[in-house]
Amino acid sequence: MEHYNMNLTLKVWRQKSSNEQGYFETYQVRDISSEMSFLEMFDVLNEQLIKENKEPIAFDHDCREGICGMCSMYINGKPHGPWHANTTCQLHMRAFKDGDTIVVEPWRAKAFPVIKDLVVDRTAFDRIIQAGGYISVNTGNAVDGNAIPIEKDKADAAFAAAMCIGCGACVAACKNSSAMLFLSAKVSHLSLLPQGDPERKSRVVNMVAQMDKEGFGACTNTGACEATCPKEISISNIARLNREYLTSSLTAEK
Amino acid sequence: MLNAKIPAGPLENKWTDYKGHCKLVNPANKRKLEVIIVGTGLAGASAAASLGELGYKVKAFCFQDSPRRAHSIAAQGGINAAKNYQNDGDSVFRLFYDTIKGGDYRAREANVHRLAEVSANIIDQCVAQGVPFAREYGGLLSNRSFGGTQVQRTFYAAGQTGQQLLIGAYQALERQVALGNVKMYSRHEMLEVVKVDGKARGIIARNLVTGKLERHFGHAVLLCSGGYGNVFYLSTNAMGSNVTAAWKAHKKGAAFANPCFTQIHPTCIPVSGDHQSKLTLMSESLRNDGRIWVPKKQGDNRKPNEIPEEERDYYLERRYPAFGNLVPRDVASRAAKERCDAGYGVGSSKQAVYLDYAAAIERYGRIEASKEGKEDAPLEEIIAWGKEVVKEKYGNLFDMYEKITGENPYEVPMRIYPAVHYTMGGLWVDYELQTSVPGLYALGEANFSDHGANRLGASALMQGLADGYFVIPYTIGNYLADEIYNKPISTEHEAFAAAEKEVSDRLDKLMSIKGNTSVESFHKRLGKIMWDKCGMARNAEGLQQAITEIQELKKEFWSDVKIPGGITEFNPELDKAGRVADFIELGELMCKDALNRNESCGGHFREEYQTPDGEALRDDANYMYVAAWEYKADSNWELHKESLEYDVIKPTQRNYK
Amino acid sequence: MTWKQVFTSSVGKKLVMGFTGIFLILFLIVHVGLNACIWANDGGEMFNKGAHFMGANVVPRILEIGLFAGLILHIIQGLMLEASNRSKRSVKYAVSYGNDGSKWYSRSMGLLGTIILLFLILHLSNFWLPNRANQGFLLGEEINLYEKMKVEFSELWVVIVYVLGCISLGYHLAHGFQSAFKTMGVHNKKYHAMISSVGYGFSIIVPLAFALMPISFYLGWVN
C-alpha cells in the first residue's frame, strides 16, 4: 500500500452545551498521513488547537477497533464516513485525498441531545434495553448449555442481530430519526432463541413503547439505517419486529 | 499484613466448603445494604446484575456513556470452560492445571481451582441469557482450541465473544436497573475511595458531563475497573482504559500485587507511525490455522509471496514442535521479538513477522473439494473454496486487518507484532476478592489473583464473569453479614468531606499548572520509557534508568502540563490528565517490581535470567511469592510477600516443546 | 395491550398505513381493470355497464364507504406521521445522506402522497362528485361517464395533471407496496424478494395503464 500525505480543510460542528446554539468552525490540518485513522487525524487537530490555546473538539471514542460503539461522527453526509460497514474509528485517511474538505457533524436527533461539540447523549438506548431487551434469568438459574439444542441457522441469525454495537448510526441516518433498526436487532436476537421465547410478547411491546417515549420517529422502511450500519444489521429484522408486534397485539388478552 | 484466607481442606473441596459455611444475609437485610461497583465490564456488569438480583442496593459507575461500552467488549477469541463437550480429556483439574502452568506457577492454587470449577456454570448462565455462541449443525455448542492447551475448551461467538458476553451481562444489568435494584451512573469517574474507621465506605465520583464532584456511600465498594495496559501508551486497551480507580484504592491502603506482570500479545497489527493512538489485536484464534514465519535470510526485502517455501523460517514450529503456533502468548511474543531483534523482521519497520493463511486456505479448500467429490479440481478453485471457509471463520478479523492496513490478508500474509494487551498484576485480593482494605473488593482484570505471570487465551472472560456471577455473590455476603448493624453513613460525614476536598484540590492543582506541554505528549513519553525498559524484555540497568526517568517525567508533568478548559464542564483533557498522572506513578512501581523480581517468569522476562536456549528461567527458591506493594509515600513502597504454596501441582520448568 | 396502545404506538400507526395501503392497492386493481374497458373500443358500452354496476348497486356502494374510510385514514395517518417524523430532528444536517442510503421516493412518501391527494381532489370533482350529485347521492340516475371522460380529457392541462398524478402514484407504490408487506411482518428474504419484484411490476404497470387513459382520449386512440 502506497502512503501519502495530505492537507485538508475541516468544517466541524462546535456547540458548547445542549442548550446553546451550535455553529460550524473551519480548520486546516497539514501533512496528514494516509495511514492515520480518522480519529488520529482529530487527535492531531486537537493537539494543534491546544497549542494555539483554543479549546479542543470534544468527540466520543473508546476502543478504536470498531466494536464498542462509542464513536459517532457524521462525516460528509454519512454516519461513520464514506466506507461501507465501518465505524468512524476504523475509517482511515486513505479514504481522502489532498485538498479535500470534510464536514463533520454530530448525530442529529431529538432523542440524542448534543452534550458538547460532536458528543451526544445516547442513554435513550439504555432505557430501551431496560424496557425489555433481556432474558429474565437470575444468576444460577441456568440449565446445562447443551440442554436445549438450537438450530444453527437460527443461532447464526440471532448472532447476526446481536452484533449491533449500539452506536446510533441508524438513528443518525434515518430521515425520521427512528431507532427501529437498533430495537429490531435486539428483538430479533432474543426472539430467535428458545430462551427468549417466554418474554417475546411483552418485550416487543414494551420496547416499542419506550422508543416512542424517548422521542424517536417511526420507521418508514427507507433502508438508510441498513445502508449505514457498521455491523450490517439487516432491515429484515425490522420486518420481524413488526410481525412480533402484530402477533403480540392480536393475541393479547386485554 | 496479608492473609489470603484460603479455606482449609483438600483443594477440590475448598470452594464447596466455603460456600457451605460462609455467612449469609437475609433478604430483608439485603435491601438495607448498599454496594458500590466501579466499572461495568464483564466483572462489574455481572457483579452488579447478580447482586441486584440478590436484593442488594447497587450503584454502578462507568466513565463511558453506557455500561455496554466497557472494553471487555473488544475481546475476540473466546471463553474457556471445563465442559469436556468434545470428549477430548478435559476436566476441571486439567483447566486448573493448564492455567497454573500457563501462569508459570505464580498464581494461587485455590483461586485458580475455583475458577476452573465455576467455568462450566458461566457457559450455562450465558446461554440462558441468550448469548449466541457458535453452534454445530446438530444445534449443540461448538468449541475451538487456544494457545497453551491441548484440548478444545474454548466457546466462542465468531470473533466477537467478548461483545456477546458483555451484552449478556449488560442486559442482565439493565434489567436490574429497570427493576430499581441497580442505579446506573454513566459518564462518571471514581476519583477517591472514602474510608471510615479503616473500612471502605464510599467513593467520590466526578460527573464527567458537568464536572461536579459527587459523594456516594456504600457498605462495600467493588472495583471492577479493568487493567492498566495503557501505562504503555500504545496497547490494545481502549483509549479510556485507566488505572485511576485501582490507583486511588492503592493510595488509600490497598496493596498492589505483581504490577510488573504484563501480557504482551503476540498477534497485533504493527505500529505504522508516530501518529498511532492504539494498537489492534488480531485474535489468538488466528494461530489455530495461521502459520507464523520470517525469511531465513536477514534483511530479506522480497515480497512475502516471492519468498519460496524453503527460504521461510516457521520459527515457532521449529522451536516448539509439540505446541507449534499454539504456544502461550508470552512464549510466542518473545520468539517474535527474538527474530526481529536478530534482523529477520519484515515490513517497512522490520518490527513484524508474517502470519500466513495460504496453507490453511489450501487445506480447507481441499476438504471442501473432497466433500464435493472434486479432488482434482484446479488449484484456483480449491483456493477459492478455502477462502470461503476462512472467511466464515475469521472474516471479521480479516476485514479489520484490511481496513487498518489497506492490505488484503486473503492474498498476502498479515504482518503482526506483539503489543501490550493484558495486565496480570493488579490490586492484591484474598480468596474472597477483598483487597487489604476491609470492604473494598477487586474483581476481574483489576485484581491480580488468577493468572500468575501469564494469562492463557480465553481466560480473561472466564475470570471476569466467574468473579462477578459466581464468586462475589457469596464472598460479599460473608462480609456484609456483619454490616447489617451499621446504618448507612451520611455523605455529610467528615470523611466524605475530606476525601472530596482531596479530589478537588488535586483537580485545582492540575488546572493551575498552565504549562506548555499537552497531556498526550506526557503519556507518549511515559509509554516509550515503559515499552523500552519494562516491556517484553527487562534488565536491571534499564529498569533503574526507567525509574529515574519516570521520576523526572513526573516532576515535569506537575510543572508543565497544559490542560485547556475548566473543571466544572465536560473536559476530556482534564479527565485524561488525571489518568496519566496516575499512570506515571504506577509506571514507577512497575519498574520497581520488575527490578525486585530477579527471575524470569511468564510475561516478566529479565534478560539476566534465561535458560541457554532463551526460555524464561524461574527462581522458585527465592521468588515463589506474590509481591504486594503497600503505598507509604510518594515514590515509596513497602514490599509484602505472600508466599505461594503448591500442594497439588509440582512446579516445573514450563515446556511447550 | 389495549387497542388504543396498539394504534397510538409508532408500529401500530405504521400497521394502519400498511393495511390501508394494501386495501387501496386492491382497489386500484379493480379500478384499473374496470377502466381498461374503454379500450374495448365499443363507444363506452362495456365501460358504462361496469360503471353502472359500481355506481348503482348497493354492494359496491357500501364497499365504497369502506374505501373512503380507508383512504381518509391513510391520508390523515400519513400526514400526521410525516409531521411527527419531521419533528424528531430539530437541527438539520448541513450535508444530507441523500441517495446513497435510500431511494429518493422512499424518503418522499409524504410529498408524493400529497401530490396524489391534490390529484385525487381534481379527479373526484371531475367524475365521482358530479355523478353522485346527479344520483342525489343514493342509487339514482347516473351520468354517462364515458362521455364525461371524453370531455374532460380533451383539455391538455387536465391530461398533463393526470399523467403527473399517475407518475406520483407509481413512485408512491414503488416504495409503498413492499414497505406495506415489511410492516405487516414479511421478513423472510425469499418472500421479500418476490414481493419486491411484484411491487415494482405493479407500480409500473398500473399507473402506466391509468396514465394511458387520458392520453388515449386526448390523442383519439379510443372513440
Q: B473: nearest CA in chain A?
A: A139
Q: Which domains does chain B have, with CATH numbers?
A: 266-420 (3.90.700.10), 493-629 (1.20.58.100)
Residue B204: how many CB atoms within 10 A of its CB? 25
Helix (H, G, I), strand (E, B) or coil at B232: helix
Q: How many CB pairs under 8 A join A and B?
A: 217
Of B245, B46, B78, the residue nearest B161 (C-alpha): B78
Which residue of C97, C179, C194 is the best one to mutate when testing the A interface, meaning the one whose CB has the most A CBs within 10 A?
C97
Taking the Cβ of residue A208 and every Cβ of chain C, the question of whether any pair is shorter than 8 Å is answered with: yes
C and B in touch (3+ CB pairs within 8 angstroms): no
Q: How far is A13 from chain B (nearest CA, A)?
A: 16
Which residue of A57, A63, A154, A191 is the best one to mutate when testing the B interface, meaning the one whose CB has the most B CBs within 10 A?
A63
Helix (H, G, I), strand (E, B) or coil at B379: helix
The A residues from 34 to 53 touching C (CB cutoff 8 Å) are none
Beta strands in B556-656 (DSSP E): 561-562, 625-633, 636-643
The A residues from 92 to 111 touching C (CB cutoff 8 Å) are 103, 105, 108-111
Taking the Cβ of residue B485 and every Cβ of chain A, the question of whether any pair is shorter than 8 Å is answered with: no
The reply to whether residue B573 touches residue A56, judged by beta carbons under 8 angstroms, is yes
Taking the Cβ of residue A212 and every Cβ of chain C, the question of whether any pair is shorter than 8 Å is answered with: yes
Q: CB-CB: which of B130, B280, B565 is closest to A196? A: B130
Among 3.40.50.300, 3.10.20.30, 3.40.30.10, 3.20.20.240, name the CATH number for the domain at A5-105.
3.10.20.30
Contacts of C6 (CB under 8 A, 6+ apart): A249, C12, C15
Please name the helix (run of DSSP H) or strand (run of DSSP E) that holds residue B58, with its range, or none.
strand B57-61
Chains with 3+ CB–CB pairs under 8 A to C are A
Chain B positions in Cβ-Cβ contact with residue A70 (cut-off 8 Å)? 64-65, 69
The reply to whether residue A244 touches residue C185, judged by beta carbons under 8 angstroms, is yes
The reply to whether residue A140 touches residue B139, judged by beta carbons under 8 angstroms, is no
Contacts of B205 (CB under 8 A, 6+ apart): B61, B185, B188, B189, B190, B191, B213, B214, B216
Instruction: Report yes or no: B228 and B413 within 8 Å, Cβ to Cβ.
Output: no
Q: How many CB pairs under 8 A join A and C?
A: 154
**% of residues, chain B, pLDDT over 70:** 100
Mean pLDDT, chain B, as a whole number? Answer: 96
Chain A positions in Cβ-Cβ contact with residue C106 (cut-off 8 Å)? 220-223
User: Environment class of residue B493 by beta-carbon count within 10 Å: exposed (0-12), middle (13-18) or buried (19+)?
Assistant: middle
Architecture of domain C8-84+106-218: Up-down Bundle (1.20)
Mean pLDDT of B408-427: 96
Q: Label residue B393 by pLDDT band (50, 70, 90).
A: confident
The reply to whether residue B564 touches residue A141, judged by beta carbons under 8 angstroms, is no
B and A in touch (3+ CB pairs within 8 angstroms): yes
CATH of domain A123-251: 1.10.1060.10
The reply to whether residue B49 touches residue A36, judged by beta carbons under 8 angstroms, is no
Chain A positions in Cβ-Cβ contact with residue C185 (cut-off 8 Å)? 239-240, 242-247
Q: How far is A136 from chain C (nearest CA, A)?
A: 20
Q: Label residue B119 by pLDDT band (50, 70, 90).
A: very high
Taking the Cβ of residue A151 and every Cβ of chain B, the question of whether any pair is shorter than 8 Å is answered with: yes
Instruction: Report yes or no: B98 and B450 within 8 Å, Cβ to Cβ.
Output: no
**What ipTM goes with this model?**
0.98
Q: CB-CB: which of A61, A67, A94 is closest to B163? A: A67
For the segment B616-654, what is each residue's pLDDT rounded down to a tens digit? 999 999 999 999 999 999 999 999 999 999 999 999 988
Q: CB-CB: which of C2, C93, C183 is closest to A221? A: C183
Q: Label residue C181 by pLDDT band (50, 70, 90).
A: very high
Q: CB-CB: which of A209, A224, A245 is closest to C102? A: A224
- Residue with cell string 475469521: B394
The reply to whether residue C182 touches residue A205, judged by beta carbons under 8 angstroms, is no
Q: Label residue C79 by pLDDT band (50, 70, 90).
A: very high
The A residues from 230 to 249 touching C (CB cutoff 8 Å) are 235-249
Beta bridge partners of B214: B205
Segments of chain A with pLDDT less than 50: none
Residue B203: how many CB atoms within 10 A of its CB? 30
Mean pLDDT of B218-239: 98
Instruction: Report yes or no: B242 and B538 within 8 Å, Cβ to Cβ.
Output: no
pLDDT at A189: 98
Taking the Cβ of residue A103 and every Cβ of chain B, the question of whether any pair is shorter than 8 Å is answered with: no
Q: In what order do the strands lie in the sheet with B220-223?
A: B182-185, B57-61, B34-38, B220-223, B440-442
Residue C128 has pLDDT above 70, yes or no: yes
Q: How far is A63 from chain B (nearest CA, A)?
A: 4
Q: Do domains A5-105 and A123-251 have the same CATH topology?
A: no
Mean pLDDT of B93-122: 97
pLDDT at A1: 60
The reply to whether residue C12 touches residue A249, judged by beta carbons under 8 angstroms, is yes
The reply to whether residue A135 touches residue B121, judged by beta carbons under 8 angstroms, is no
Instruction: Report yes or no: C122 and C32 within 8 Å, Cβ to Cβ.
Output: no
Q: CB-CB: which of C85, C175, C189 is closest to A218? A: C85
Chain B positions in Cβ-Cβ contact with residue A83 (cut-off 8 Å)? 403
The reply to whether residue A166 touches residue B66, judged by beta carbons under 8 angstroms, is yes
Chain B positions in Cβ-Cβ contact with residue A150 (cut-off 8 Å)? 135, 139
Chains with 3+ CB–CB pairs under 8 A to B are A
Chain A positions in Cβ-Cβ contact with residue C182 (cut-off 8 Å)? 221, 235, 238-239, 242
For the segment B568-623, what is each residue's pLDDT rounded down to a tens digit? 999 999 999 999 999 999 999 999 999 999 999 999 999 999 999 889 999 999 99
Chain A positions in Cβ-Cβ contact with residue C188 (cut-off 8 Å)? 236
Q: Could you give the CA distance from residue B348 to residue C178 in angstroms, rounded to a whole number?
A: 53
C-alpha cell at B70: 466497557
pLDDT at B375: 87
Taking the Cβ of residue A227 and every Cβ of chain C, the question of whether any pair is shorter than 8 Å is answered with: yes
**Where exactly are the structural domains of chain A?**
5-105, 123-251
Q: Could you give the CA distance from residue A250 to residue B92 in angstroms, rounded to a whole number?
A: 49
The reply to whether residue C109 touches residue A77, judged by beta carbons under 8 angstroms, is no
pLDDT at C2: 86
Q: A216: nearest CA in chain C?
A: C88
CA B373 remoteness from chain centre: 46
Q: How far is A231 from chain C (nearest CA, A)?
A: 15
Instruction: Report yes or no: B579 and B531 within 8 Å, Cβ to Cβ.
Output: no
Helix (H, G, I), strand (E, B) or coil at A74: strand
What angle is formed at CA B105 by the lines to CA B104 and CA B106, rounded to 5 degrees?
Answer: 95
Residue A77 region by backbone torsions, left for phi larger than 0, else alpha for psi between -120 and 50, else beta:
left
pLDDT at B342: 94
Q: State yes or no: is B455 an active-site residue.
A: no
The reply to whether residue A53 touches residue B65, judged by beta carbons under 8 angstroms, is no
For the segment B51-105, what is each residue's pLDDT rounded down to a tens digit? 999 999 999 999 999 999 999 999 998 999 999 999 999 999 999 999 999 999 9
Taking the model in full, what pTM does it have? 0.96
Mean pLDDT, chain C, as a whole number? Answer: 95
Q: CB-CB: which of C84, C95, C183 is closest to A103? A: C95
Residue of B329, B334, B525, B597 marked catalytic: B329
Q: CB-CB: which of A109, A236, A239 is closest to C88? A: A109
pLDDT at C76: 97
The A residues from 112 to 171 touching C (CB cutoff 8 Å) are none
Q: How far is CA C103 from CA A60, C4, C87, C100, in A?
A: 30, 33, 21, 8
C-alpha cell at B603: 510475561
Taking the Cβ of residue A4 and every Cβ of chain B, the question of whether any pair is shorter than 8 Å is answered with: no
Chain B positions in Cβ-Cβ contact with residue A40 (cut-off 8 Å)? 275-277
Q: Label residue B16 by pLDDT band (50, 70, 90).
A: very high
